[in-house]
Structure 1
Amino acid sequence: MTAATAIEVRDLTKVYGDVRAVDALTFTIRPGRVTGFLGPNGAGKSTTMRLVLGLDRATSGTATVGGRPYPELTEPLRHVGALLDAQAAHGSRTGRAHLRALAASNGLPDARVTEVLRLAGIESAAGRRVRTYSLGMRQRLGIAAALLGDPPVLLLDEPSNGLDPEGIVWIRGLLRRLAGEGRTVLVSSHLMAETAAFADHLVVLGRGRLLADSPLAEFVGGRADLEEAYLRLTASAAEFTSGTEEA
């Protein structure tokens, strides 16, 4: 592991009123592998990713990229690429204009825009307004934006959402290639079979708490598939938490 590319979360907590969305999380996302980020709806995955990206402020604890909080990074697209919301691009802009604006704000050349459009398979749609894009095309545009700065670290929330079967095969291959290049890749998903197809390692949350941080093969074990192992873990955690709260 190199400090320049690791995501480190230490005792991270986020409280909204009476809700403890993230509860004393500690884990490290290492380079050279794809880490699947799993958990039921409301488990704290999106909140954790927002805290890592400086989009929200932690109640306590830290989240760093390469040893530094995200807001301290200059030209952050060169360090971290992120896809949190495929609907974020302004609908009246063309795909190319959206990427060019991002590139300009981070000192990146226009040539890189053409490269990522081609890589994402939407070069032919670059001149169309984003509002005419299908969900799958918006996903590809969001992934292109995440790759724009050729970053060593990527955080992708449900990147296969809206993709057709060809697109799903493409994103699997892309994730594997990025990890093979030594990048740090964190992918949030609720699709167990899909996660099993690309992940090397898993971080699993439940009610804001860390339930598992282990290699995929170790998590699954010798008999159960990923979905069975995941459901067993999250059900047990829910029962334990419920029992604790009632006590």
Structure 2
Amino acid sequence: MPRKSPKASEFEEMRDAGIGLASKLVIENKLDQAKDVFTKLLNLRPDDVEVMTLHANIYFFEGKLLEAENRLNQVLTLNPDYPLALYFLGVVYHEKGEYEKAIHTYETALKHFSKDKKYDIADVYQNLGCSLWGIGKREEALEAWQTCLKYNPKQKSAKKNLKDFTNEYGMGKSPVGMDDLWAFVNFKRREYYSLKGRDYFKSVEEANVVLKKITDAWDNKIMPKWGAKFKRMKTQEKIKLFNDTKILF
């Protein structure tokens, strides 16, 4: 393997030092100074996608989402598979409330991070979970946060989200405080799938019929006798009640 020329080696040392300095300035909230450092590095190597990405992300910290988005897209024009730019772009989309686009971008980023980038992968899964939660995919969000902790068991945000958004049944909390009902629906939906030997409804009509039977059972068999007792019941007692409640599918 040919050795780097001294000039190239000196540049790499200067580049690494510049990235380190800029990162320190960002932590200290000296964002303009950090941008100046990245600008100087880009004057020396305009197509450095890592520096371009880190530079673009400062605009996100400043709340300049459109500028950050445009700059990240410039990176992806040079390298469409660059995972860090994809990840940061997903964060921008999430902040804009464009959760579906954020999810797609995070999932694309995960395909391109090398396996040794465990902390980066963990952070992507943490943010993916937030976007999934934003569109109501609660179980998938919990799964994303759990996957995050497999890559980085110390990821604080994922730990907090799992604690805050997991109910007593190990499911995503209902946004309207109906955890018992949603748990019952989930148990009975799985029971129906098991009877049919599949894990999906074949049509909207089938789903509506099954869910109507489940909610009728809740209204007529569960609530009249047990509704007032739920707060005093243990989780396992409620699960047994749900499993013992018969529905003629």
Do both share a fold (TM > 0.5)?
no
Relative to its length, the structure with more helix (as a share) is: 2
TM-score for both structures, normalised by structure 2:
0.28
- Normalized against structure 1, the TM-score is what? 0.28
Answer with 1 or 2: which has the greater Rg: 2
Give the structure with the larger strand fraction: 1
